[in-house]
Structure 1
Amino acid sequence: MEGFIAVFGGSFSPVTNAHLAIAEQITNLYDIEKVIFLPVSDLYEKRGLMSAEHRVEMLKLACESNTKFEVSEIEVQSTTLLNTIDSLRRLRKQYPDHPMAFVIGSDNLRLIDTWNDFQELMDDYYFIVIPRNGDNPQKMIRKNPSLLANLESFLIPEGYIRNDGNSTHVRDLLKVGKSVRYLVPEPTYFYLENNLKGWGFNA
């Protein structure tokens, strides 16, 4: 069997060092051949979302130095808002011989059983669960019969997974003119400086 393709979805508004650290750490823990960053479309209604053009460019710059990282524009190029299963089906066609895992934060465990085509997601894909805000993913899964019945679909990294310095915090700093250096990848930092001064950027 070929190595995993890990799909890391999110707004990445902007991509941060924490995002890259998570991707690197799961690559070390599992047999992951490639991490595909999957930024959401501009159709995704989220407050403070930077335009897809900027988010994609910052992601590409951040991933340039790692041959295992790449960026997919499946969602940002779609004229309709795609559900997780829609995106994964399209990516599966590109990598038919690879097992595929979707990276989620543990907060998603509270609603994942309401996602479109939940059982297909459980049957055909793995989910790498990154703990957030003190969550205990194992306990959350055990408490939900729908998740417990699909226990083998979940991969929960053992040990410490860095998950600090989120995009919201970075945007808040930008808006008040504070520096985000060392919170975002260096290419992202300079991109923000050169292209997004309207966000209150201040080196």
Structure 2
Amino acid sequence: MKKIGILGGTFDPVHYGHLILAEQARGEAGLDQVVFMPAMVQPFKLNTKIAEGHHRYAMLMKATAGNAGFAVSDLELTSAKVSYTIKTLQEYKSRLDENTTLYFIIGTDAFLSIDKWFSAEDLLKEYSFIVGTRPGYKEKELKEKVERFREIYDTQILQIKNSEVEISSSDIKDRIRKGKSIKYLLPEAVEDYIYQEKLYL
């Protein structure tokens, strides 16, 4: 049985926080591959300006180069529709053989609000989840949600401990606008691409 993890997001830009979460999920959950899935339009960011899809895709390709356990999909970027997780996972799964299990990789905060997502019930019934956790962070609330989802939907949920990395895409963009260094916050190839394409200025 092959195991593939899907890590979705805007990745605007991708940084080491994303890459560390993906690698730790791959290792701890025994995934064969982690697929980065950049969104074209996220439901929660409809009024937020983001870099064009081809730029975010290119940065991901540069960031994941050299790691055979990583891949990048343009599935959502090739659709003009809003990116709903359930629809993306259904479409991606339809392209795989039956012996593949899909896991959706997600952080604690996003998981705690997942029952408010589009078609949340189907999402929790049909797919498995890998939740990145931090010691002492909303542990009681998370434990209650995990138990409830398992009881109601029989959801397969794996919890992994991911390193606490204080890096955010919004901070990186703010630093670029202010002329501050972004070195060591993201791969050098991504940094070079950002300045080459004059992104976030």
Mark yes or no: TM-score above 0.5.
yes
Partners of 1:108 and 1:134 lie apart in 2 by 17
CA shift for structure 1 position 117: 2.4
Counterpart in 2 of 1:11?
Answer: 10
Aligned-pair CA distance for 1:42: 4.5
Per-residue deviation, residues 107-130 of structure 1 (Å, max 9, x unmatched): 113321122222322222111112
What one-letter code is carried by the residue in structure 2 that aligns with 1:129?
Answer: V
Match of 2:130 in 1: 128
Contact 2:37 2:72 in 1 (8 A): yes
Q: Superposition RMSD on alpha carbons, in Å?
A: 2.3
- 1:154 and 2:193 aligned: no
SS at match of 2:160: coil
- Compute the TM-score of the two structures, normalised by the length of structure 2: 0.87
Partner of 2:180: 178
CA distance in 1, matches of 2:195, 2:65: 19
| Contact 2:112 2:145 survives alignment (8 Å) | no
Pick closer, same or farther for the CA change 1:34–1:67 going to 2, 3 Å.
Answer: same
Task: State the match for 1:140 in structure 2.
Answer: 142
When normalised by structure 1's length, the TM-score is 0.86
Distance 1:134 1:183, change over 3 A: farther
Q: Identity of aligned pairs, percent? A: 28
Aligned residue pair count:
197
Distance 1:5 1:27 in 2: 9
Q: Given the alignment, which residue of 104, 128, 140 partners 1:102?
A: 104
- Tell me which residue corresponds to 1:28: 27
Distance 1:107 1:122, change over 3 A: same
C-alpha distance in 2, partners of 1:133/1:14?
27
Structure 2: gaps (5+ residues): none
Higher alpha-carbon deviation: 52-61 or 101-110: 101-110
Q: Which runs of structure 2 are paired with 1:76-95 in the superposition (5 Å)?
A: 76-95=77-96
